[in-house]
Amino acid sequence: MEPPFRAVYAVSRDRKNALNSWRIRLSHPMTEDKLDEFERIFDKLYLEFTKMERELEPYQRVERSIQKKFRKSIWVPFIAAVKRYELIQENDKIAVCISGGKDSMLMAKLLQELQKYSEVPFELVYLVMDPGYNELNRKKIESNAALLHIPITIFETDIFSVANNTEKNPCYLCAKMRRGHLYSKAKSLGCNKIALGHHFSDVVETTVMSMFYGAQLQAMPPKLHSQNFEGMELIRPMYCIHEDDILSWKRYNDLEFIQCACRFTENCAMCDNDVSVSKRQETKLLLRRLKRDNPNIEKSIFNSIHSVCLDTMVGYKSRGETHTFTEIYNTRTEELKKESKADE
């Protein structure tokens, strides 16, 4: 059996009907009696299945969708990132940082599911920092957490008030202060790591933005050590998950999250459309146009940051130190001279 979405939709133009229909292929001819018996058994099994689906709680349906419907597009890339980049070790205590958006909420559910089945023991704390949300956004985060069975810990700060009174780069200041408060609270709770909901699309966009607007080739790493909080690390478990698949998961489960709770953009807090056109939004649109001619362009950019050839670079920075082309070239020249003398 397979779901004939296109065929049924073409006839009925009813998407819900198409998604809930099945096409059955019989491998050999059947008598009318055998066909009646098959229909009776199938009807019985289908009723039991749909009854089971109806009896599931909303959070259980969400968890089921991760393991079934979105296993290939979300669960498998999530596990791949955790293993490839060694994001979680035994006895880690991870602060799952939840902003209230689709990315962080999905990340919370993924880590929650992983904790159920993982052979590696680790702890999770679901941390929500309230930087000064309005009442509507605060309630939305709390209701979504309750709906998804995510036991959140909320702490309050005055970040929005401080950032709003800054004329120059308020968004940069807000992001920096958020990170600092999250590290500090996580460490006070005994955590050694914080998890953020950046995904594959964020990684690709950041790489492009660094070249176009930052005049440098810089990527977003899957994990890093904190510079200001000793012993703390930052991990990005959704590093290999595409944003389009996150949106599909959200829509499939009829979930609604806050998007932007900043006071500068509160008008768009409950919608999926950006009001302001930021540099990141410009980059999104650019990549979308480029994908029309090259559908694999995002994958190519993602793979490129995993295979940087330093020998062809005319300069690079490492651990805060700048290495120029002449320095690199002269060092290589001396190495070749030594090799030449050794061969004589």
Supply the pLDDT for residue 274.
41
Distance separating the N- and C-terminal Cα atoms of the chain = 74
CA pseudo-torsion sign 327, 333, 334, 336: positive
What does DSSP say about strands 193-195 and 93-98: parallel, antiparallel, or unpaired? Answer: parallel
Q: What are 234's two structure tokens?
A: 């930052």
Contacts of 296 (CB under 8 A, 6+ apart): none
Helix (H) / strand (E) containing 7 = helix 5-12
CATH 4.10.1240.10 fits 60-302, yes or no: no
Angle of helix 243-252 versus helix 200-212 axis, rounded to 10: 140
Supply the pLDDT for residue 19.
61
Q: How far apart are CA 176 and CA 323, in angstroms?
A: 28
Question: How many C-beta neighbours within 10 Å does residue 134 have?
Answer: 14
**Helices (DSSP H) in 85-216: which residue ranges?**
102-117, 135-147, 159-164, 170-188, 200-212
Model pTM above 0.85: no
What's the half-sphere exposure (Cβ side, CA atoms, 13 Å) at 93? 12
Contacts of 56 (CB under 8 A, 6+ apart): 64
State the residue for tokens 């964020």.
202
Supply the pLDDT for residue 2.
47
Supply the pLDDT for residue 64.
93
The DSSP symbol for 23 reads B
**pLDDT averaged per 10 residues, the chain (length 344):** 56 61 67 75 69 78 94 97 97 97 97 95 96 91 97 91 73 82 96 97 96 92 95 98 97 90 50 54 93 95 94 88 92 90 78
Partners of 154 in the beta sheet? 128
